[in-house]
């Protein structure tokens, strides 16, 4: 099937032939993504959501810097540098971002023999997810993070996120605070503690190139081996803390229920999946400092808490940021994240001992 409008946008790029098909692709919620097939191969075409990413040129510069560095490092260690990261395709004029009347567009080569998954189908997939993001960190460990643009300023600034939640509660624009006062108080009661933890980590840990959206569906797996192949969706790659990338992956990949569940009592942490991801991550994430390793569990708690507070703030504001398919959708998300956080807090000692044991294995 060919969508004529998408075909016209694909023709803005150097694809070496006419478009044979162009169809929607993937499960992302931010950019519009299409799989384009030509006689010369397949490509991924995207329209950048400028409501979220206001500077598409900065986005593009980050993409080029990061992918070229990964290819260079992969070539040096003998990896398949053609399949280890995205390969941007230039537009006809030579730039890697093309503007049309309906927005800004970009293109990359489709990585053949790969697939993605929205949820891990087995513990081995979670382990591979850890390996994939751990290797991503290692490949970029010598890239100067300060060269990257901050595509979403203060994205993981927990104190600012909590202040926004408190403002939403004070304004109560949608008249919803009375319906969730107990849950809101659970979030508010932790604000001072986690704000202080964020300040401590921000001062103590090195700034690295971080992905900032480490869900398993942002990894491509090899179709034959099911091994992690490449990290994709690089729009939020910017300077940050490694423990937050680890933490967000645990929040989404080691939970016992989906964050959209309407039954928060089913939500908790799977220690087995936590161990699988941490084992894969620590095998590949070379060069972590002792302080970073010691803060991995705290990173998981903080990302769960921060994301839950964002869901709570959006529910109180009337669902203005996150897409909601039912009136209580963001409230349900906030409840599920609090249930997950409670379980993490109860099991902190166990999780930290798991990390210490895995870290010892890597250093022996």
Give tens-digit pLDDT for 259-306: 999 999 999 999 999 999 999 999 999 999 999 999 999 999 999 999
Last residue of a domain, one of 51, 82, 112: 112
> Could you tell me the pTM of the whole model?
0.93
Last residue of a domain, one of 87, 112, 137: 112
141 within domain boundaries: yes
Residue 19 pLDDT grade (very low, low, confident, very high; cuts 50, 70, 90): confident
- Residue 39: which CATH number? 3.30.200.20
Question: Do 136 and 251 sit in the same domain of this protein?
Answer: yes
Question: Do 203 and 341 sit in the same domain of this protein?
Answer: yes
Question: Do 27 and 128 sit in the same domain of this protein?
Answer: no
Residue 1 predicted with pLDDT over 70 = no
Residue 126 predicted with pLDDT over 80 = yes
Q: What percent of the chain has pLDDT over 70?
A: 98
Q: What is the rounded average pLDDT of the residues 317-341? A: 95
250 within domain boundaries: yes
81-108 tens-digit pLDDT: 789 999 999 999 999 999 999 999 999 9
Please tell me the total count of domains within the chain.
2
Q: How far apart are the first and last CA of the chain?
A: 55
Question: Do 103 and 131 sit in the same domain of this protein?
Answer: no
Half-sphere exposure of 315 (CA within 13 A, CB side): 25
Question: Do 151 and 228 sit in the same domain of this protein?
Answer: yes
Q: Return mean pLDDT, the chain.
A: 94
Q: Which domain holds residue 13?
A: 4-112
Question: Do 143 and 98 sit in the same domain of this protein?
Answer: no
Task: From 247, 22, 204, select the one nearest 13 (Cα to Cα).
Answer: 22
344 within domain boundaries: yes
- Residue 176: which CATH number? 3.90.1200.10
Q: Report the distance separating Cα 323 and Cα 102, nearest Å.
A: 22
Cβ(211)–Cβ(231) below 8 Å: yes
117 within domain boundaries: no
Q: Report the distance separating Cα 32 and Cα 28, nearest Å.
A: 8
Question: Do 206 and 297 sit in the same domain of this protein?
Answer: yes
Task: From 222, 16, 224, select the one nearest 107 (Cα to Cα).
Answer: 16
214-226 tens-digit pLDDT: 999 999 999 999 9
- 3-state SS string over the chain? CECHHHHHHHCCECCCCCEEEEEECCCCCCCEEEEEEECCEEEEEEECCCCCCCCHHHHHHHHHHHHHHHHHHHHHCCCCCCCCCCCECCECCCCCCEEECCEEEEEEECCCCEECCCCCCCHHHHHHHHHHHHHHHHHCCCCCHHHCCCCCCCCCCHHHHHHHHHHHHHHCCCCCHHHCHHHHHHHHHCHHHHHHHHHHHHHHCCCEEECCCCCHHHEEEECCCCCEEEECCCCCCEEECHHHHHHHHHHHHCECCCCCCCCHHHCCECHHHHHHHHHHHHHHCCCCCHHHHHCHHHHHHHHHHHHHHHHHHHHHHCCCCCCCCCCCHHHHHHHHHHHHHHHHHHCHHHHHHHHHHHHHHHHC
Question: Do 264 and 352 sit in the same domain of this protein?
Answer: yes
Residue 3 predicted with pLDDT over 90 = no
Last residue of a domain, one of 49, 81, 112: 112
Question: Do 45 and 128 sit in the same domain of this protein?
Answer: no
Task: From 337, 176, 182, 179, select the one nearest 260 (Cα to Cα).
Answer: 337
Residue 28 predicted with pLDDT over 90 = no
- The whole-number pLDDT of residue 230 equals 96
Question: Do 144 and 37 sit in the same domain of this protein?
Answer: no
Question: Do 330 and 198 sit in the same domain of this protein?
Answer: yes
Question: Do 68 and 190 sit in the same domain of this protein?
Answer: no
Identify the burial level of 45 via C-beta atoms within 10 angstroms of its C-beta, where 0-12 means exposed, 13-18 middle and 19 or more buried: buried
């Amino acid at each position: 099937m060919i969508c004529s409008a998408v075909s016209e946008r694909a023709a803005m790029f150097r694809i070496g032939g006419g478009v044979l098909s162009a169809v929607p692709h993937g499960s992302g919620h931010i950019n519009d993504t299409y799989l384009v097939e030509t006689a010369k191969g397949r490509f991924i075409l995207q329209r950048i959501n400028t409501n979220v990413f206001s500077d598409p040129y900065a986005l593009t510069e980050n993409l080029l810097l990061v992918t070229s560095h990964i290819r260079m490092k992969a070539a040096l260690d003998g990896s398949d540098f053609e399949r280890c990261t995205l390969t941007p395709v230039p537009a006809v004029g030579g730039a890697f971002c093309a503007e049309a009347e309906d927005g800004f567009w970009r293109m990359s080569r489709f990585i053949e023999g790969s697939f993605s998954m929205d949820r891990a189908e087995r513990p081995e997939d979670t382990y591979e997810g850890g390996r994939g993001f751990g290797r991503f960190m290692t490949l970029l460990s010598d890239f100067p993070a300060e060269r990257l643009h901050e595509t979403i300023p203060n994205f993981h600034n927990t104190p600012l996120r909590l202040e926004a939640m408190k403002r939403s509660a004070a304004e109560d624009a949608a008249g919803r605070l009375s319906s969730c006062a107990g849950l809101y108080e659970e979030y508010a009661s932790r604000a001072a503690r986690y704000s202080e933890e964020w300040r401590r980590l921000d001062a103590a840990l090195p700034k690295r190139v971080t992905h900032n959206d480490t869900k398993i569906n942002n990894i491509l797996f090899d179709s034959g081996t099911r091994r992690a192949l490449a990290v994709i969706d690089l729009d939020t790659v910017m300077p940050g803390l490694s423990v937050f990338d680890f933490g967000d992956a645990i929040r989404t990949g080691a939970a016992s229920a989906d964050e959209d569940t309407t039954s928060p009592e089913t939500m908790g942490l799977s220690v087995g999946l936590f161990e699988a991801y941490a084992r894969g991550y620590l095998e590949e994430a070379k060069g972590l400092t002792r302080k970073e390793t010691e803060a991995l569990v705290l990173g998981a708690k903080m990302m769960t808490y921060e994301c839950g507070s964002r869901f709570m703030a959006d529910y109180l504001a009337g669902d203005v940021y996150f897409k909601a398919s039912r009136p209580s959708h963001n409230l349900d998300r906030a409840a599920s994240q609090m249930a997950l956080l409670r379980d993490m807090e109860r099991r902190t000692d166990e999780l930290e001992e798991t990390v210490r044991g895995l870290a010892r294995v890597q250093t022996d």
